Amino acid sequence: MYKTLKSGLKSKKVLEPTAGLTLKRVWAAGLLLAVTQAVLAAPWDTKFFNPKPAEDDVILPMPCEGSMAFRKIHVPLDKPLDDLKVMLGSDSGDLRYLEQAHPAFIAGSFTTDKPAPGRYYLMAKYELTELQYQAVMTEACPRSSMKLMSPQVSISWFEAMQFSDKYNVWLRKNALEALPKEDKVPGFVRLPTEVEWEFAARGGNAVSTTDFRASMYPMVDGINKHVWFAGSQSSNGKLQVTGLLQPNTLGLHDMLGNADEMMFESFRLNKLDRFHGQAGGYIVRGGNYTTAEADIRTSWRQEQTYYRGAEPNRLRTSGLRLALVAPSLTSLDRGKVIEASWEKLGASREAPAGVAQTPGATPQATAPTTVERLGSLLSGMKDDKLKKELETVRSELRASNQMRDEQQSLAIRSALQQGAFVCSLLKRDADFYEDLLKPYTRSCTKTDGLDDSALARCNLLKTNIDNRKRTLDLVVSMYSDGIIQASTIYTAAMIAPEVSVEKQQLEARKSNLHLYLSTYWTHLSGYLRTRQVTHSDWIAGCRAVPN
């Protein structure tokens, strides 16, 4: 009754009439088969779409009662036009034309107020499996099994795009409410951009700046616990089932090794501080099960051609991982917010000429800025040539000012992190000093009647106390200097937005340094208001931070 016709990678079952069977009976039999398949499709067991569940996973439904797990990738900025500057690529190595370190910018799609105002995008927790691919791309529902839990490889970039398109259409028809929304507009899935992928692969905000710039995300238990690479000690030349190894710091599995992953945009060569103008083939990232251990790194990127001969290029080492994002211009109102933000870029107010500003005070800017004065000149200018030249100068000035503002933000965040760290040292050294002082006060304040041995112990304790006091005084001085120096350079209005960003980054690293940051900001903002140095209050504040 049935025969199988193979076309490309898919097998399609079609009806073929046989002797003694009317077309009506054939139609009825096909309908019965379709109904039977629908009834038999049962929800997938968790092990078939999320073998390593975590509390904050985001689960999207799929056809055939399937599911796909995602992880939120937080970016600690909440305005639609705000983005975070990061350094991607490699600081060393031979393939600098592929992986040279370069600045890039990342932003989230969806607004959130937890743990603090910010935005996020989502990345699939695992590489797309054969089971998930078949659930979307084939007419008959696949039977869930471990055999289909390997990454879907040997598909072209175009088939990856077709998969994301069909999945998006299915979600909008069958599970629209399951999609996260931004400005009431549902998100959509697609291949990730290089910046989205590498930011997530390196660990995003959940790692320190040093770990973020390392060749791989932190692997305390060793690379073999995290990555499938070439060799008998790892993959042994075989593609592996997804989710068997440990995830990266953001909870993403197999970001490095197993199957390399296709990116959304076309490949470009790296030209020191920018990418080359020619757009080539498509990009694959992360390395795969045939990549040597020595070559596994987060900056690894390769170009692949879209076609081989007359056929789309399909590689047995390449798969994909979806990102879940939202449009940028979601509504007319959102467009107005972005336009207003754009007009302010590089046009920040300056101190009035000739007016001395109180250190740390918010400048009372009564005079227009240079950018504003140029804008006023342009509005009344009749000479089109001169007007065009001045508009170019104004745009260049705004761009320069914007770069200055971004550098200032980075400098403030660095100062905040340093202040928080010194506050933690202050607590440690003050506690240590008090721990030494208590027994000395109890046993050594009166030396009468002490024997030589006890007196020697008291003298040694006094020496240790004096040494510890000098250390404590040095740390207090560093803490005080940091507050005073910051107050002479920055205003409270400049610092406050960066506190929120830095706090989110520290919270994401699962340490209590963000608590010290809150204390440091309390002390700094207090000094900006009163100009009073209160060492005893600052020491007490840092000591009050819980361990």
Tell whether 220 and 302 lie within a shared domain.
yes
Whether the CB-CB separation of 306 and 288 falls below 8 Å is answered with no
Which of 261, 224, 270 has its CA nearest to residue 100?
Answer: 270
Q: What is the pLDDT of residues 524-540, one digit of tens each?
A: 999 999 999 999 999 99
Tell whether 390 and 521 lie within a shared domain.
no
Of 276, 296, 325, the position where a domain reaches its end is 325
Q: What is the pLDDT of residues 447-480, one digit of tens each?
A: 777 788 888 888 888 898 999 999 999 999 999 9
Higher pLDDT, 159 or 341: 159
Count other Cβ atoms within 10 Å, centred on residue 17.
Answer: 11
pLDDT of residue 367: 64
The whole-chain average pLDDT of the chain stands at 87
Average pLDDT for residues 246-264, to the nearest whole number?
Answer: 97
Of 325, 341, 374, the position where a domain reaches its end is 325
The amino acid present at 253, given as its one-letter code, is H
Tell whether 136 and 7 lie within a shared domain.
no
Measured in degrees and rounded to the nearest 5, phi and psi for residue 220 equal -60, -35
Tell whether 169 and 246 lie within a shared domain.
yes
Tell whether 213 and 282 lie within a shared domain.
yes
Residues, the chain: 547
Tell whether 152 and 24 lie within a shared domain.
no
Q: What is the pLDDT of residues 202-239, one digit of tens each?
A: 999 999 989 999 999 999 999 999 999 999 999 999 99
Tell whether 36 and 89 lie within a shared domain.
no
Which of 308, 296, 316, 196 has its CA nearest to residue 250?
Answer: 196
Range of the domain at 111: 46-325
Tell whether 229 and 88 lie within a shared domain.
yes
Domain total for the chain?
A: 4
Q: What is the pLDDT of residues 405-423, one digit of tens each?
A: 888 888 999 999 999 999 9
Of 304, 325, 346, the position where a domain reaches its end is 325
Tell whether 410 and 508 lie within a shared domain.
yes
Tell whether 115 and 256 lie within a shared domain.
yes
As a whole number of angstroms, the distance between CA 520 and CA 522 comes to 5
Tell whether 266 and 368 lie within a shared domain.
no
Average pLDDT for residues 119-134, to the nearest whole number?
Answer: 98
Residue 65, domain CATH: 3.90.1580.10
Tell whether 349 and 411 lie within a shared domain.
no
Which of the four pLDDT bands, split at 50, 70 and 90, describes residue 344? confident
